A and B are shown apart, each in its own frame.
Chain A
């Protein structure tokens, strides 16, 4: 058990290290000296920001210091939770801007990911080796999983928002409202949340359904299924076993798909101008706000790593073989 988690944590630790290093390196070693051009550009539109930035750079990065010192400084600042100052939302610190957006992204992603996983697995398992259903689920699944996330988002927004007028197509809540804890506001939040959630959910659903369908077919062909059939066990029992065993690789698949799902959430938010990290990234890019962009990058990496670790724990709880092997190793 300790060895298993030790290894995982080592990978995650190294991943974080690599991510931070990329974050530090890219602005420094990209052609065209982006930092000075960034300061210059900011100076044109917002002189006060440029001044603060220049001071910030000199203090934090000390561009005249040796490279390794700059690198260490970068880490030191990171551990103090200092991601710099946002230009777009000047003079808010980047961490504050990001923390304001994170709840929206999580509120979109967590339900969409979990529900699409559960429902997709259920559909896939149900369709496998049932000809008529399979012929319906499979093509729909492939179309959904081949769709760019933003395109389904645009289609839903256009069809159900612009044309039918049932749902709003922009923002996290109505412009006329101020965030508060009234029922009106919560309903308004839900109203704005529905379409982005639905589009994220639907695209992800296709992939899970197909994955589960293929895994179940594989499990139904396996030796233990054949043995149970030979002993006359009902299909119900065999399918239950197959499902249980097929879910395990789907859990691993969830970990592997996290990156894609995050990407999907980001572009979906952009379509709906949903005030999460995706819209933040768009603003950062449009305003050349590199601090904000880099801070968001680290937050996303951190979030994905934490999610990975949670999935690892779930896997150990669900797969008896990992525990059995561990018990043996300890004895």
Chain B
């Protein structure tokens, strides 16, 4: 009868049944499955690659400027560094920045969004003002200033600052969702039964938009990777180690393009595009799973 409901019966439907239905669509959604598969594949490569290959990504080698071969799958740089070793290590960094930066941004966005949307009034006004200010400041420009003055730059610090500056749109979206949920019956009931604000937010509101929150995180994840790669490219990446953005920067700085060393700049960019693109596509898939209106008929 699910197709026939004339009145929305979300509250009455058993959660288990809803979950089963979501899973059913999830497994049949090409976008979601493809996207996740690519992300997982690259994640595995980033996690296991460095362990299996060993070696240090920035170690100079004896065979500079080699095109891809059986020995060096992705060739070598001007300094004889193995591009494939750099690539798998860089993937790891890229995922780390995405998870950390996206995670921090998601947490801030949720806190601000929930509190502003649920409390309303002056708290909302103040948080809204804060959100709008951080929203209009160009993120990369702020990160440039901060990172330029940091003597030693680590992946963690980079992710932290990215997280601190990229939460506003998430906060806005979550605030709007919370706003529409807070007048629902089950929230009223919780309030009447004397539950604290924190409890209502974590037990009643957040679970009811969990799919939305997850999708927000995915987008923040992808966004963090792109911002980090731009920072790396400008020359404000981590001072130690390697990332896909740093590989692009090195390639650009040492004229890989002019020297025709395409194997130096194609893999890192393709890696970033694949991770972020797969995340976005998986996100569309998720949206279709949770939002029946978007399913193709």
| Touch test A–B (CB under 8 Å) | yes
Interface residues of A (CB under 8 A from B): 10-12, 14-15, 18-19, 22-23, 26-27, 30-32, 34, 131, 139, 142-143, 145-152, 154-155, 157-158, 161-163, 169, 217, 221, 255-256, 258-260, 262-264, 266-267, 270-271, 278, 281-282, 284-286, 290, 293-294, 296-297, 300-301, 304-305, 308
Q: Name which residue of chain B comes closest to A152, CB basis.
A: B269
Q: By the criterion CB–CB under 8 Å, are A158 and B262 in contact?
A: yes
For residue B139, CB closer than 8 A to chain A, the reply is yes
A258 proximity list for chain B (CB < 8 A): 136, 138
Q: By the criterion CB–CB under 8 Å, are B137 and A259 in contact?
A: yes
**8 Å CB contacts to A: which residues of B125-183?**
129, 132-133, 135-142, 144-146, 148-151, 169
Q: A157-B257, A293-B144 are in contact. Are A151 and B269 (CB under 8 A)?
A: yes
Q: By the criterion CB–CB under 8 Å, are B252 and A19 in contact?
A: no
Closest chain A CB from B131 CB (angstroms): 10
A143 proximity list for chain B (CB < 8 A): 273, 277
Question: Which single member of B148, B150, B265, B280 contacts A151 (CB below 8 Å)?
Answer: B265
> In the complex the two chains form, what is the Cα distance from A145 to B226 in whole Å?
10
Closest chain A CB from B94 CB (angstroms): 11
B227 proximity list for chain A (CB < 8 A): 263
Closest chain B CB from A181 CB (angstroms): 31
Q: By the criterion CB–CB under 8 Å, are A154 and B137 in contact?
A: no
10 tightest A-B contacts by CB? A151-B269, A146-B277, A263-B140, A259-B138, A146-B276, A30-B149, A300-B141, A11-B132, A158-B257, A15-B133
Q: By the criterion CB–CB under 8 Å, are A147 and B149 in contact?
A: no
> In the complex the two chains form, what is the Cα distance from A137 to B257 in whole Å?
29
Q: By the criterion CB–CB under 8 Å, are A263 and B230 in contact?
A: yes
A294 proximity list for chain B (CB < 8 A): 145
B62 proximity list for chain A (CB < 8 A): none
Q: A158-B265, A169-B257, A285-B234 are in contact. Are A305 and B140 (CB under 8 A)?
A: no
Question: Which single member of A142, A148, A152, A155 contacts B233 (CB below 8 Å)?
Answer: A148
Q: By the criterion CB–CB under 8 Å, are B141 and A145 in contact?
A: no
B280 proximity list for chain A (CB < 8 A): 142, 145-146
Q: A26-B149, A263-B230 are in contact. Are A154 and B248 (CB under 8 A)?
A: yes
Closest chain A CB from B261 CB (angstroms): 10
B260 proximity list for chain A (CB < 8 A): 162-163
Q: By the criterion CB–CB under 8 Å, are B248 and A263 in contact?
A: no
B245 proximity list for chain A (CB < 8 A): 148
Proximity bits, B248-268, A CB within 8 Å = 1, else 0: 100110000110101001101
Q: By the criterion CB–CB under 8 Å, are B235 and A154 in contact?
A: no
Question: Which single member of A10, A18, A163, A262 contacts B141 (CB below 8 Å)?
Answer: A262
Closest chain A CB from B102 CB (angstroms): 15
Q: By the criterion CB–CB under 8 Å, are B141 and A151 in contact?
A: no
> In the complex the two chains form, what is the Cα distance from A162 to B259 in whole Å?
9
Q: Name which residue of chain B comes closest to A31, CB basis.
A: B151
> In the complex the two chains form, what is the Cα distance from A263 to B143 in whole Å?
11
Closest chain A CB from B219 CB (angstroms): 11
Q: By the criterion CB–CB under 8 Å, are A285 and B236 in contact?
A: yes
14 A-B residue pairs with Cβ-Cβ distance under 8 Å, sorted by A, are A22-B145, A142-B277, A145-B277, A145-B280, A146-B273, A146-B280, A151-B268, A155-B269, A162-B257, A217-B294, A256-B135, A262-B138, A263-B138, A304-B137
Closest chain B CB from A319 CB (angstroms): 18
Q: By the criterion CB–CB under 8 Å, are A151 and B272 in contact?
A: yes
Known pairs A266-B230, A296-B141 / 5 extra A-B pairs, C-beta < 8 Å = A15-B136, A18-B137, A147-B277, A148-B229, A285-B235
> In the complex the two chains form, what is the Cα distance from A63 to B105 in whole Å?
36
The B contact surface, by secondary structure, is helix
For residue B111, CB closer than 8 A to chain A, the reply is no
A260 proximity list for chain B (CB < 8 A): 139-140
Q: Name which residue of chain A comes closest to B272, CB basis.
A: A148
Question: Which single member of B226, B234, B258, B281 contacts A281 (CB below 8 Å)?
Answer: B234
Q: By the criterion CB–CB under 8 Å, are A270 and B257 in contact?
A: no
> In the complex the two chains form, what is the Cα distance from A285 to B249 in whole Å?
14
Q: By the criterion CB–CB under 8 Å, are B138 and A301 in contact?
A: yes
Question: Which single member of B136, B146, B248, B293 contacts A308 (CB below 8 Å)?
Answer: B136
B50 proximity list for chain A (CB < 8 A): none
Q: By the criterion CB–CB under 8 Å, are A267 and B133 in contact?
A: no
> In the complex the two chains form, what is the Cα distance from A280 to B118 in whole Å?
45
For residue B222, CB closer than 8 A to chain A, the reply is yes
> In the complex the two chains form, what is the Cα distance from A157 to B234 in whole Å?
18
Closest chain A CB from B249 CB (angstroms): 9
> In the complex the two chains form, what is the Cα distance from A19 to B134 in whole Å?
10
B150 proximity list for chain A (CB < 8 A): 30-31
> In the complex the two chains form, what is the Cα distance from A110 to B260 in whole Å?
32
> In the complex the two chains form, what is the Cα distance from A223 to B253 in whole Å?
55
The listed residue with most B CB atoms (<10 A of its CB), out of A27, A217, A259, A308, is A259
Q: Name which residue of chain B comes closest to A304, CB basis.
A: B138
A281 proximity list for chain B (CB < 8 A): 144, 234
> In the complex the two chains form, what is the Cα distance from A267 to B236 in whole Å?
12
